[in-house]
Amino acid sequence: MQVGVPFQSFRECIDPNLKVLVRIDINVPINVKEGVILDDYRIEAHAATISKLAKSGMSVVVIAHQGRPGDDEFTSLGIHWRYLEKYAGMRVSFIEDVMGPAAQGAIRNLGPGEVLLLDNVRFVSEEVIERSPQLQSNTFLVRRLAPLFDVFVMDAFATAHRSQPSIVGFPLVLPSCAGLVLEKELNAMNVFSSSRRESIVLAGGAKVPDTIKAISKLLANEAAGKILVGGLVGVIFIAAKYGANGWLRKYLEESGFGGLVNDARLLLDKYGDSVAVPTDVGVEVHGDRVDVDARKIDAPVMDIGPATMDAYSSYVRGAEVAVLTGPMGVTEKKQFAEGTEAVFKAMVDDAKFTIIGGGHTIMSARKLGYIEKIKHVSTGGRAFLQFLVGEELPALQALAESKRRFWK
Ligand SMILES: Nc1ncnc2c1ncn2[C@@H]1O[C@H](COP(=O)(O)OP(=O)(O)O)[C@@H](O)[C@H]1O
Ligand SMILES: O=C(OP(=O)(O)O)[C@H](O)COP(=O)(O)O
């Protein structure tokens, strides 16, 4: 943990005599019907925090969520439990309760070095309401559970942008620390934010409005030296820079993204060369890849083109930090994974420090064989973007408040 961070580091919460409540984020892509988790990266990451706490002799209770009420992925953590055991390399018990008498009894009876996973905290209706930390610290969830613990460890970086009771409520009533995952995320982001003009951000993917907003903030805060756009985000910037005819014009009308072209144009006018836009693209014609000039698009854009791959690779060369959020193309199809592969290669070969974030980005890095070579793989999606652009995260503010209250 860097000097000057306004909250307690992980090791300051480690004490074998204490009972700890640890909030992790194991919200993962899941096939509920078959009880199968499709990507367990987050579970593996948080298992390290849990095993470290338990091996120190602490009694460890884990609280987490899966999905949102009403969606297909909203389910019990009974599926996650075994994955957590596998990665933590120790026995984990699980209870189908969050804060009722059964959970409270199991927490009270938990011995030193033992781990208990509570069920999906979003089964408690209070958890999905976002309010101030002060109000969240007065919820039933926090009032029932907090008295059973000595300390709280906040490790759920991917939920750090939510002002929910299990994120911001506990730190106001329990001495709290950052967890290992959270510390790693903050350290990586510190490397990024201290490099500023020497940083490159590659922004692709399909979350077009969110990513354009993030790009706008990065530029306004002078948080990165250059932004290289790709994916569907790149398509909007192509329309802003070169105009839209043929397929592109039709696509903008049908996708509802037409209104964003003006936003992209304003950014290009204001920040000029700070944003690099693809000069060529890979389009799909009868299932095949054809590379065309970005001014002459007449088929669906699926990737950045070879000239753009070269240009982007040379921008990455020598960068202090290169960040990739959102793939450069449709990596699900082999012939359109070339752009993303080229920028991954440039990142790991030529940038001093590398960071990636986002579910599809991580899956692409894994599929293309780059995941082990990236210096920091973020567990966050929206939290990662929010932190990247320099916005406050409620979880961190609550941890800072906890330090003021309990760690004089
Ligand atoms: N040119 C493109 N056209 C359509 N979809 C694209 C294009 N480029 C990338 N994508 C899609 O973007 C999706 C990933 O975007 P996003 O969800 O923003 O990334 P992440 O999950 O890493 O944050 C992938 O499914 C990919 O197929
Ligand atoms: O998966 C998460 O965030 P992400 O979709 O931004 O990666 C977090 O678990 C937060 O979930 P939420 O957006 O339902 O609050």
Q: Has 204 been labeled as part of a binding site? A: no
CATH number of the domain bearing residue 402? 3.40.50.1260
How many residues are recorded in the chain?
Answer: 408
Structural domain count, the chain: 2
**68 CB less than 6 Å from ligand 2?**
yes
Nearest residue by C-alpha to atom 23 in ligand 1: 358
Q: Are residues 398 and 325 in the same domain?
A: no
Q: Are residues 253 and 353 in the same domain?
A: yes
Q: Which residues line ligand 1 (CB under 6 A)?
A: 204-207, 231-232, 235, 301-302, 326-327, 329-330, 332, 358-361, 381
Q: Are residues 173 and 192 in the same domain?
A: no
Task: Please give the pLDDT value at position 1.
Answer: 41
Q: Are residues 147 and 189 in the same domain?
A: no
Q: Are residues 151 and 283 in the same domain?
A: no
Q: Are residues 65 and 129 in the same domain?
A: yes
Task: Please give the pLDDT value at position 3.
Answer: 42
Residues in contact with 70: Cβ distance below 8 Å, sequence separation at least 6, in sequence order: none
Q: What's the pTM value of the predicted model, to 2 decimals?
A: 0.91
**158 CB less than 6 Å from ligand 2?**
yes
Q: Are residues 229 and 96 in the same domain?
A: no
Residue 51 lies in a domain: yes
The H-or-E segment that residue 154 falls in is strand 151-154
Residue 246 lies in a domain: yes
The H-or-E segment that residue 398 falls in is helix 394-406
Q: Are residues 360 and 231 in the same domain?
A: yes
Residue 238 lies in a domain: yes
Q: Has 68 been labeled as part of a binding site? A: yes
Strands (E), 249-350: 275-276, 280-285, 288-293, 301-304, 321-325
Give the ligand with the smallest distance to the CA of 128. 2
Rounded CA-CA distance 37/150 in Å is: 32
Give the ligand with the smallest distance to the CA of 163. 2
Give the ligand with the smallest distance to the CA of 166. 2
Q: Has 360 been labeled as part of a binding site? A: yes
- The Å distance, Cα 58 to ligand 2 centre, comes to 28
Q: Has 253 been labeled as part of a binding site? A: no
Residue 386 lies in a domain: no
Task: Please give the pLDDT value at position 197.
Answer: 85
Q: What region, left, alpha or beta, does residue 98 occupy, with left being phi > 0 and alpha being psi -120 to 50 degrees? A: alpha
Q: Are residues 147 and 219 in the same domain?
A: no
Task: Please give the pLDDT value at position 407.
Answer: 87
For residue 55, what are the domain limits?
Answer: 10-178+392-406
Q: Are residues 14 and 49 in the same domain?
A: yes
- The Å distance, Cα 352 to ligand 1 centre, comes to 26
Rounded CA-CA distance 214/157 in Å is: 18
Q: Are residues 199 and 167 in the same domain?
A: no
Residue 151 lies in a domain: yes
Task: Please give the pLDDT value at position 408.
Answer: 73
Residue 153 lies in a domain: yes
- The Å distance, Cα 6 to ligand 2 centre, comes to 25
- The Å distance, Cα 370 to ligand 1 centre, comes to 18
Q: Are residues 170 and 208 in the same domain?
A: no
Residue 142 lies in a domain: yes
Tens-binned pLDDT, residue by residue, of the chain (408 aa) = 444 568 999 999 999 999 999 999 999 999 999 999 998 999 999 999 999 999 999 999 999 999 999 999 999 999 999 999 999 999 999 999 999 999 999 999 999 999 999 999 999 999 999 999 999 999 999 999 999 999 999 999 999 999 999 999 999 999 999 999 999 999 999 999 999 889 999 999 999 999 999 999 999 999 999 999 999 999 999 999 999 989 999 999 999 999 999 999 999 999 999 999 999 999 999 999 999 999 999 999 999 999 999 999 999 998 999 999 999 999 999 999 999 999 999 999 999 999 999 889 999 999 999 999 999 999 998 899 899 998 999 999 999 999 999 987
